[in-house]
Amino acid sequence: MQRVFLRLAVILFAGLQLGPGPSRAGAVSVMIFCDGSMAKPTGLTTSTINGLRASGFNTMILFTMSVAANGDFTYNDGVPVCTNGVYSGAANWGALLAQCKAAPSSIKRIEMCIGGWGDQSWVNIKNLIAANGTGANTVLYRNLAALKNALGVDAIDNDDETAYDSASTIKFGQMCAAVGLKSTLCPYTNPSYWQAVKTGLGANCDRIYLQCYDGGKYNDPGQWNGYFGGMKVVPGYWDWERDTTFLTKMQSWSSVGAGGFLWPSCSGCNPPADAGEMLQYAGWILSTFNDLSVTPTVGFSGVTAYQSRILPASTVFTLGNSGDASLNWGLVNTSSWLSVSSSLGTINPAATGTTTISLNAAVATNLAAGTYAATVVFTNKTSGGTVTRNFSLNTAVVNWPVEMTGYNAALLASNTATAGSPGATAFDVPNNIAFYQQGLSGSTRGLPLTGGFSSACDSGTAFQFGPYGAADALMLGYTYAKAGTLTLATPETFNSLAVLAASANGGGQGTFVVNFADGSHSPAFAFNAQDWFYTVTNVAIQGFGRLGLGTSLSIQDNGDANPNMYQTTVNLAALGLTQPVTSITFSNPATAGASQNTAIFAVSGMPGDVPLLAPQGLRALPGTDATVQLAWNATAGATNYNVKRSLVSGGPYQPVGGSPGPSFTATGLANGATYYFVVSAAGTFSESPNSSEASAMPGSYPGWLLNVKPGAYWPMNETAGPVAYDVVAGNNGQYAGGCTFYTGGATGAGFSNPHRAVFFNGSSGYVSVPRLIGDTNFTIVFWVKTTTTGGTPQWYSGKGLVDGEVGGTTNDFGVALVGAKVGFGVGNPDTTITSTKSINNGAWHQVAVTRNSGTGALQIYIDGALDASGTGPTGPRTSPPNLRLGCIQTGSGFLSGSMSDVACFNQLLNANQIGTLYGAASGSFANLSLANQWSGTNLILGWPANARLLEATNVSGPWTTNVSASPLTIQPDQPQKFYRVQK
């Protein structure tokens, strides 16, 4: 790509057929992802990935990777990718890229670009091939293989704008083919070079992306097609600060291109466009290069409850043929919970056909509670072009639409509305603005086609609009009354009620009172009635556009974030309000302005007799002494939770207590025993099934460690990858290749039996975890077993244990195996201290290091005892983007050995705390006690043999160890002291 002031990271491209063929081939669509953060890979957030998957683009090209003079592969600003045949990039990059392609996704292909304006990669490739050849033992070949294996890319895209040496380029392309990679070309000038490369690579070069912007703005795709034996190029254009000529350019190339690509060159864009814009650009390409059109542009969102209720949903899709010849179409339905009325047909020129896609109730209501996604792919079988429609399903709904009367305004226009017959009045009365249903002519947004939707505010509420074009809202304020009542068609008892509302021209919190069949009333509850713009909390649905009423209809697109409607949920059962509900009276916000009004659009509720779902996410954390702390996710409609336990996995379980909220502390347990817990939710008239089981061992090492409040704790007790779970706050890590999961971790009474650990293979295994320490004082504690040795003298020369080394920076740090000992170092220039004790004897050792950011003091503890001290630089250590367990951060120094129970603290643990942790792992589970008895005038103290006696002259300490053996005789004439025991 010719522009250099941006670090662009993905080209995305729409369509399929690329060789010689009909004049209107299926469209290839490509887009570019800005900023280079995909290599870090923090730029690939869940929302970005989902946006890419739903974008309609079918190819993603990562721009750009460089090849150094020594053959190293780096990304954008020199971020390592492959070094000497070993992948050295972010541990979870491959998984994130795979997620981009995971069904349902329009992304089917991912390429890695090499080159760009001013980049010397192809000069370096030429020199490396001249010096070393192209054999499997060369660094280029091994790095290509490592890249393919680690990231799973499908092709290498050639953006040579410097070397233009066809002989070496062809040889490199043949190396790509040998490791399973296709080659693609991205020219903007010098057609003779690209023609020679295409000829030399033959079928392994399956795409040519032609730059038609900036330096290539005068390129004619039709002329370039003549250079490649009839193979059509894929012309590309930019969205330079959202260039409005993009569609015009694509349309001008529709008869000669195999599709189109988007170069998102706007400054600072990351991702290159939001979900709506990506869909728009892909849609322009696909509609331009494909005769098959499909409307509407969106699929529905289905809502069901397990073996219970369903909101019927179906959409009639109209298929059109804009070409001058008949086309055959077909569709692929990827989901059993969708039903399709017709899956193939023929459409004559300028004619249309239809197919209806519906929610399959028999299947959808028998799916486990959760969210599901599906894609229906419409294919122009004549040309190969495709159009996708995405559908979603939420099967975890508990609050269902409640049928009510009393709505006093029609605010939602149907998609058949006209200016003369809008079927709606204004929500924003002074400005004469209403809302509209999806599918209104000329619109791209709108409220759900069927009127039903799953709330974005939680996973358990569904609302139902409508009917469109009729009384569909209760209006309060301005020209309407300040209060109003909605009446239930049938009185019913509810565990919970949910309200959907919004205000115009200001807002706030209104109030509502629930009226019961026995004549009683609830207290006044507040409900969210904020202004429809810019409020980001309690949002149930957003970004659906507005409709200006008047002599003509004015469709307004306010973006993805506005306007909004807001949700309020009240748990009636938890408040003991279990009488049948007859009506609800709503009042406008008290501080409303003169022109402000509020609308209640829908009410949903959880009937009292609806079965409760089992609590989810039960966690059991051991305490230090005979306790286990339980926590779980709240269950909608629950008034109480019943906690049960067993000494045997799978039960039978015995009740041990109840809790009004989603947490419980089990007490009076036996230290050293493993307990198995389940929780059920209780509602007005029912109790849920038990939750999944969780277990914990009170008094164990994890209990003592958690008691010191680490910032993160990775037990490393998984049975398979790729996630290394943090049990403190969910700061999970990622396992890389070369990790083996096995039982046989650090031994001792303080660990469960068998204890799990992870073995690193010494060549590629490691765990990447977030860097949560370094800004202030910190402590790292972990267990390690090895028989190998590391390099010397500095920590970054050794085998990485817990490392944050970033070459050339001053604010890094790490712990490594240096020779046979532990090295702990910080900074550049580096300060490393080394332990006195060797740890490579094949036994498990506890290692703890502390660092004082104010004084620079460094300490190493081995097996609970202070082993080495030193002083390094002061100040924060903030350079590492993450830490690596089992290797040096820079991708070298791999440990051959095992690790477990890695914990990081944003505090300095003292010698007493570290010694206690070691004792908790190796000592007994006896509940600690300090026995005393009198012998004449002397006091005799006794304590367990595996515990330590601590003494102090003040009850608040400091405490020191008394090395005496039990029993100890205390004479009355000795100075006053205080005593306690500790494992």
Contact 684, 639 (CB under 8 A): yes
- Per-residue confidence (pLDDT) for residue 240, from 0 to 100: 63
Mean pLDDT value across residues 162-176: 97
Q: Is the pLDDT score of 968 beyond 90?
A: no
Q: What is the pLDDT of residues 528-558, one digit of tens each?
A: 999 999 999 999 999 999 999 999 999 999 9
% of the chain with per-residue pLDDT over 70: 90
Tokens of 979: 């005593």
Q: What is the pLDDT of residues 93-109, one digit of tens each?
A: 898 899 989 988 888 89
Asked if the peptide bond before residue 754 counts as cis, ω within 30 degrees of 0, the response is: yes
Tokens of 168: 């070496």
| Sequence-ordered list of residues with C-beta below 8 angstroms from that of 218, at least 6 positions apart, any chain | none
pLDDT band at 81 (very low <50, low <70, confident <90, very high): very high
| Sequence-ordered list of residues with C-beta below 8 angstroms from that of 668, at least 6 positions apart, any chain | 626
* H-only helix segments in 268-320: 275-289
195: left (phi over 0), alpha (psi -120 to 50) or beta: alpha
Q: Which of 573, 578, 542 is nearest to 560 (CA)?
A: 542
Q: Which residue has the higher pLDDT, 781 or 257?
A: 781
The answer, as to whether pTM is greater than 0.75, is no
Q: What are phi and psi of 347, to 5 degrees?
A: -125, 125
Mean pLDDT value across residues 642-660: 95
Provide the 3-class DSSP secondary structure of residue 355. Answer: strand
Task: Answer positive or negative: Cα dihedral of 436, 440, 444, 449.
Answer: positive
Contact 553, 422 (CB under 8 A): yes
Determine which of 270-274, 300-304, 650-654, 682-686 has the lowest per-residue pLDDT on average. Answer: 270-274
Secondary structure (DSSP) of 680-731: EEE-SS-BPPP---EEE-TTSHHHHHHHT--SEEE----SSSSEE--TTT--
- Per-residue confidence (pLDDT) for residue 2, from 0 to 100: 41
Task: Answer positive or negative: Cα dihedral of 361, 367, 371, 375.
Answer: negative
The neighbouring-strand residues paired with 494 are: 607
Q: What is the pLDDT of residues 281-304, one digit of tens each?
A: 777 777 677 778 888 878 888 998
% of the chain with per-residue pLDDT over 90: 55
Tokens of 556: 């307004």
Mean pLDDT estimate for the chain = 86
Contact 425, 93 (CB under 8 A): no
Query: What letters, b where the CB count within 10 A reaches 16 and e where it falls short, cover 726-764?
Result: bbbeebbbbbbbbbeeeeebbbbbbbbeebbbbbbbbeb
- Per-residue confidence (pLDDT) for residue 929, from 0 to 100: 55
Asked if the peptide bond before residue 22 counts as cis, ω within 30 degrees of 0, the response is: no
Mean pLDDT value across residues 262-279: 58
Q: Which of 937, 959, 941 is nearest to 950 (CA)?
A: 959
- Per-residue confidence (pLDDT) for residue 296, from 0 to 100: 84
Tokens of 266: 């706007």
Q: Which residue has the higher pLDDT, 226 or 55?
A: 226
Mean pLDDT value across residues 508-533: 97
- Angle, helix 121-132 to helix 166-178, in steps of 10 degrees: 80
Would you give the DSSP letter of residue 341? Answer: S
115: left (phi over 0), alpha (psi -120 to 50) or beta: left
- Per-residue confidence (pLDDT) for residue 195, from 0 to 100: 96
| Sequence-ordered list of residues with C-beta below 8 angstroms from that of 79, at least 6 positions apart, any chain | 36, 39, 40, 89
Q: How far is CA 562 from the centre of its chain?
A: 24
pLDDT band at 242 (very low <50, low <70, confident <90, very high): low
- Per-residue confidence (pLDDT) for residue 586, from 0 to 100: 98
- Per-residue confidence (pLDDT) for residue 626, from 0 to 100: 84
User: How far is the C-alpha of 881 from the C-alpha of 453, rounded, in Å?
Assistant: 40
pLDDT band at 201 (very low <50, low <70, confident <90, very high): very high
Would you give the DSSP letter of residue 138? Answer: S
User: How far is the C-alpha of 727 from the C-alpha of 705, rounded, in Å?
Assistant: 12
- Per-residue confidence (pLDDT) for residue 74, from 0 to 100: 93
Q: What is the pLDDT of residues 915-930, one digit of tens each?
A: 888 888 876 554 455 6
- Per-residue confidence (pLDDT) for residue 43, from 0 to 100: 57
pLDDT band at 866 (very low <50, low <70, confident <90, very high): very high
Mean pLDDT value across residues 937-954: 77
Q: Which residue has the higher pLDDT, 34 or 118?
A: 118
pLDDT band at 588 (very low <50, low <70, confident <90, very high): very high
Q: What is the pLDDT of residues 428-465, one digit of tens each?
A: 999 999 999 998 988 889 999 889 999 999 878 999 99
- Per-residue confidence (pLDDT) for residue 793, from 0 to 100: 79
Provide the 3-class DSSP secondary structure of residue 669. Answer: coil
Provide the 3-class DSSP secondary structure of residue 223. Answer: helix
Q: Is the pLDDT score of 895 beyond 70?
A: yes
Provide the 3-class DSSP secondary structure of residue 568. Answer: strand
Mean pLDDT value across residues 897-908: 96
pLDDT band at 817 (very low <50, low <70, confident <90, very high): very high
